[in-house]
Chains A and B, each alone.
Chain A
Amino acid sequence: MGKHAAEITIFAALVGFVLVVGLVAARWRRPDSMLDLEEWGLGGRSFGNGVTWFLLGGDIYTAYTIVALPALIYGVGAVGFFAVPFAAVVYPLVYVLLTRLWSVSHVHGFVTPADFVRARFGSRALATLVAVAAIVATMPYIALQLIGMEVVLKTLGVPTEWPLVVAFVLLALATFRSGLRGPALIAIVKDLLLLWTVLAALLYVATIPGYWSGIFRHARATFEQTPSLNDGLLLAPSNQLGYVTLLLGSALALFLYPHALTGVLAARNRGTVQRNLAALPVYTLLLGATGLLGYLASYLNVRPIGGDRNTIVPALFDTIFPAWCAGIGYAAIGIGALVPAAIMSIAAANLFTRNIYREYIRPSASPAQQTRVSQVASLAVKLGAVGAILVLNPQFAIDLQLIGGVIILQILPAVAVGLYTRWLHRYALVLGLVIGLLTGLLLLYQIPQPGPGGTTIRAHFGGSSWPLTNIGFDTTATIYAGLVALAVNLVVAVITTPIFRRRVPDAPDTTAPHHYFTDDTDPTIQRMESLVDGT
């Protein structure tokens, strides 16, 4: 412990500080009553430009991203860089969609994407499927954040179990009390710490003779020594399809995740959503800089701790920073785990409350009862994630997260296409979703994990890049499994729509075309709680 005393002190102090912030956040812009799901779960839909920016930034640029992206680039090079164009493509991609979703959710009081699907297609089954898929996809994402925290604790040389439990129990209490206001405030601290850390690392690069060119020359030489053809400073010809489909698939998936949508729905008005989507790629520059730190680690011969490649970033901080600055970097990662974990648990809890509890268990639940259920559910989700990490192999969370990405893409036809048109029939959407899920699982099952020297570490669930040899192409090229499953899903939905429509008439759509363009200041705005609540 002696060696890391200063780092541990700063890390513990900062993490402790934000947890206190999270607890008192309930008093921030105190609502008349916290016992309302729109207050607890969406911060009263009142967040302006700044808070929304930090909330979405905390949502998307998570601890795991900060840790895993440089680790991936350290390990394989160019292929790992896909996260950067993904985070550049995603915002213009969803600009129009999310503006529409914000408006229709504001008019109808939707809290979850499944709320929207329920109203748009009038189908309880479809809404439930969407909610369950979203919850299942989100759970391993929370566990993944714990891994981000774990690698920091590992680097500090402290036991990983009890500090992890303490931090997450405190976080669970803060979320229980403050709802979305908690992570919104904490996210501000996280981003300041992260910005500080990345700038400090870039400053360090400026002290290296030759700056980046020396670092890249070293990385190139390192990759040339490895027998693998898939690593390198550039993409191998066989990697390009995989790279593009993974970046596109990830971009399509990102705002289908309920926690990202929670950040959007909590915004005050359409302009706040739009301005944030224009400005959020600034984070991508930060992300790219963080990714390149993987090459810096390689240049400085930093070795991962205990063979766990994900410790490369904290190990790098330990090498290049004085203790106090490394402590800040660790805190940035640690808090970067707490923020998304809190938002994800709130989003999952809201889905459970709105689309399962109220739909099947207690349709007459009052707003206060719904909030209580959400609070308890968020608690359960977080404790479940801690339990899963402590009991199961962390690799399991990473595998489940890969599957989660494929699962969440399958709600795209109902949610994203549904925002534009309700031409697709609800039964066709259900069928497409189910077949898409099965296809995705089958493809993932067929993906082996290659080891060094042509060996196979695992025969199944070894990644998300599906080899095209499976369909007879004589190539080493791969394609992102999630995108293939989504294509199957869409094709099924489109083909079966006319067939179902002939037999089963469409259910009523309670949204109207102008609901998709309403703003908070629009004099014609109507809150249609009566339609949503079925009263």
Chain B
Amino acid sequence: MTDKVLVRPTGARHAAWYDPDPTIPIAMPRSGRSAWHWLLVVPVVLPLFTPLYNRMGPSLFGIPFFYWSQLAFSVLSIVVTALVYLATRGRA
């Protein structure tokens, strides 16, 4: 490891990137942890309680609650995950 290069890479090209000189002060990446991530628990845990949705009514377009509510869980996943993404974007 004699070469000391510090280059901004343009992508995942596999030219070897060497360790930068440890004496050069570099900005440490932020931790990437965020309390927002706990929000993801909601769409994961909700579908695990079958008594919540194991029922016929109210139906939607003639589709029993059991079916459309579980389809709605995927909409919930989209909304929550998108929210978490937008809230944590740019933080690492």
Chain B residues, CB < 8 A from A274: 81, 85
Question: Measured between alpha carbons, how far is A530 from B1 in the docked complex, in Å?
Answer: 10
- In the assembled complex, which residues on chain A have CB atoms less than 8 Å from the CB atom of B74? 84, 87-88, 281-282, 284-285, 288
Task: State the Cβ distance, A261 to closest chain B Cβ, in Å.
Answer: 16
B residues near A275, Cβ cutoff 8 Å: 85
By the criterion CB–CB under 8 Å, are A46 and B14 in contact?
no
- The CA-CA distance from A133 to B12 in the complex, in Å, is 28
Interface membership of chain A positions 444-481, coded 1 if the CB is closer than 8 angstroms to chain B and 0 otherwise: 00000000000000000000000000000000000000
Complex contact B27–A244 (CB within 8 A): no
| A530:B16 contact, CB within 8 angstroms | yes
What residues on B are CB-neighbors of A527 within 8 Å? Answer: 9, 12, 14-17
Shortest Cβ gap from B26 to chain A (Å): 5
Interface residues of A in 276-303 (CB under 8 A from B): 277-279, 281-282, 284-285, 288, 292
- Shortest CB distance B91–A (Å): 9
A92-B80, A93-B44, A292-B63 known; A44 and B28 CB under 8 Å? no
- In the assembled complex, the CB of A47 is this many whole angstroms from the nearest CB of chain B, namely 11
| Interface check A518, CB cutoff 8 A | yes
Question: B23 on the interface (CB 8 Å rule)?
Answer: no
Is A38 interfacial (CB-CB < 8 Å)? Answer: yes
**A233 close to B61 (CB less than 8 A):** no
The one of B41, B44, B54, B78 in contact with A278, judged by C-beta atoms closer than 8 angstroms, is: B78
Tell me which residues from 32 to 67 in chain B have a Cβ below 8 Å from any Cβ of chain A: 32, 37, 40-44, 47-48, 50-51, 54-56, 59, 61-64, 66-67
Q: Which residue of B lies closest to A251 (CB)?
A: B44
CA distance A520 to B12 in the complex (A): 7
Chain B residues closer than 8 Å to A518, beta-carbon distance: 29
**If A92-B81, A240-B54 touch, does A517 touch B29 (CB 8 Å cutoff)?**
yes
Bound: A248/B50 CA distance, A:
12
Interface string of A512-535 (1 = CB under 8 A from B): 001011111111111111100000
Q: C-beta contact mask, A85-97 vs B, less than 8 Å → 1, else 0? A: 1011101110110
Nearest CB on B from A416, distance (A): 14
Q: Assess whether A216 is interfacial by the CB under 8 Å rule.
A: yes
For residue B12, give the distance in angstroms from its CB to the closest CB of chain A. 4
Decide: A520 and B11 in contact? CB cutoff 8 A. Answer: yes
Chain B residue nearest to A267 (CB atoms) is: B12
Interface size for A (C-beta < 8 A) is: 67
- Given contacts A84-B70, A234-B55, A240-B54, A524 and B16 within 8 Å (CB-CB): no
Partner of A292, one of B9, B55, B67: B67
B37 touches which of A91, A96, A529 (Cβ 8 Å): A96
> How far does the Cβ of A377 sit from chain B's closest Cβ, in whole Å?
21
| B17 and A525 contact, CB distance less than 8 A | yes
A residues 209-245 in Cβ contact with B at 8 Å: 210-216, 233-235, 240, 243-244
Contacts of A190 in B (CB 8 A): none
B20 touches A526 (CB 8 A): yes
Residue from B29, B55, B64, B70 in contact with A524 in the complex, judged by beta carbons closer than 8 Å: B29
With a cutoff of 8 Å between Cβ atoms, the chain A residues found around residue B59 in the complex are 213, 216
Neighbouring A residues of B27 by C-beta, 8 Å: 523-524
| Cβ contacts under 8 Å, B81 to chain A | 91-92, 95, 274, 277-278, 281
Q: How far is the CA of A182 from the CA of B85 in the complex (A)?
A: 30
A248 touches B11 (CB 8 A): no
- Asked whether A233 lies within 8 Å of B64 as measured between CB atoms, the reply is yes
Within the complex, what minimum Cβ distance (angstroms) separates A223 from chain B? Answer: 12
Closest to B78 in A: A281
Q: How far is the CA of A517 from the CA of B27 in the complex (A)?
A: 13
Is A109's beta carbon under 8 Å from chain B?
yes
Q: Which residues of A contact B82 (CB under 8 A)?
A: 278-279
Cα–Cα distance between A525 and B11 once the two chains are bound (Å): 10
Q: Is A529's CB under 8 angstroms from B14's CB?
A: yes
Within 8 A of B (CB), among A232-275: 233-235, 240, 243-244, 247-248, 251, 268, 271, 274-275
Q: Once bound together, how far apart are the Cα atoms of A402 and B47, in whole Å?
A: 23
Q: Establish whether residues B12 and A285, one from each chain, have CB atoms under 8 Å apart when the complex forms.
A: no
A174 to chain B, nearest CB (A): 24
What separation, in Å, do the CA atoms of A57 and B40 have in the docked complex?
Answer: 21
Chain A positions within 8 Å of B44 at CB level: 89, 92-93, 251
Within 8 A of B (CB), among A183-214: 210-214
Tell me which residues across on chain B come within 8 A of A181, comparing CB atoms: none
- What's the Cα separation between A457 and B22 when bound, in Å? 67
- B75 contacts which of A100, A281, A514, A528 (Cβ < 8 Å)? A281
By a CB distance below 8 angstroms, the chain A residues around B89 are 271
Given contacts A45-B11, A268-B11, A527-B9, contact A240 B78 (CB under 8 A): no
A45 to B13, CA, bound (A): 9
A51 to chain B, nearest CB (A): 14
Residue of B nearest to A283 (CB): B74
Q: How far is the CA of A282 from the CA of B16 in the complex (A)?
A: 39
**Sample of 16 more A-B contacts, CB < 8 Å, known A84-B70, A530-B1:** A85-B73, A88-B73, A88-B76, A89-B44, A92-B40, A92-B44, A93-B40, A95-B81, A109-B14, A240-B50, A268-B12, A279-B78, A516-B32, A520-B12, A521-B8, A525-B9
Top-8 shortest CB links A-B? A213-B62, A212-B62, A517-B32, A45-B12, A88-B74, A284-B74, A281-B74, A278-B81
| 20 A-B residue pairs with CB within 8 Å | A45-B11, A78-B66, A81-B70, A89-B48, A95-B40, A216-B63, A216-B64, A233-B56, A233-B66, A240-B51, A240-B54, A243-B50, A244-B50, A277-B81, A284-B77, A292-B67, A523-B26, A524-B26, A524-B29, A527-B16
